[in-house]
Structure 1
Amino acid sequence: MGVESKITAKGQTTIPMEVREYLKVGVGDRIGYEFVDGKVVLVPKNRSALDFAGALFEPNREPVSIEAMNEAVGEAVSDRYERSYDRD
């Protein structure tokens, strides 16, 4: 079982210490909420681009052109847009 917290009458909750440590968030940091497959995912919004340096590195992967990257991003945005209308 994971960790839990209680929601107050005002709709507030305390994010448990274990979750804050895992997300590396603290006082004054922001978090976002994303809806994924019927669940809500907490997303830290306090990270800089440098925190993600090397996250996608795969040894021996072929380089990808800017055009191919732009096309892949465009397809992903289009797919997400279409899925947002499928829920309505």
Structure 2
Amino acid sequence: MELAKITSKGQITIPASIRKLLGVKDGDKVLFVQEGNKVVMMNASVNALLEAQREFQGMAEALGLKGEQDVVDMVKEIRAERSNGR
């Protein structure tokens, strides 16, 4: 458990151990999410990635992608279609 003091401007310094845990550094953004009567702080970039993963969950199977090579082949096919003006 860590403790931080709020300044008169509503600012806090996030303890180094918490910054390390979240994987945030100078200039990064953090996200505050209310969960019941608690507020959880998260690395905004990591949260965006997790949301994208949730949104795409099951899409690979629906598209018939079974491995990394299938993805590479699909990207090549899409690039070829776009370069041919389709």
Question: Under TM normalisation by the shorter chain, which class is it?
Answer: 0.5 to 0.7
Cα RMSD (Å) = 2.5
Relative to its length, the structure with more helix (as a share) is 2
Shift of 1:6: 0.1
- Detail structure 1 runs of 4+ shifted over 6 Å in the superposition: none
Alpha-carbon deviations, 1:19-67, whole Å to 9, x = none?
A: 0000000001000100002000001112373xx6xx99xxxxxxx855x
Identity of aligned residues (%): 31
Question: Unmatched 5+ residue regions in structure 1?
Answer: 57-63, 67-88
Q: What TM-score does the superposition give when structure 2 sets the normalisation length?
A: 0.54
> Secondary structure at 1:20's aligned position in 2?
helix
Q: What TM-score does the superposition give when structure 1 sets the normalisation length?
A: 0.52
Question: Unmatched 5+ residue regions in structure 2?
Answer: 60-86
More moved, 12-21 vs 37-46: 37-46
Aligned length in residues: 54
- Mapping 1:59-70, distance limit 5 Å: none
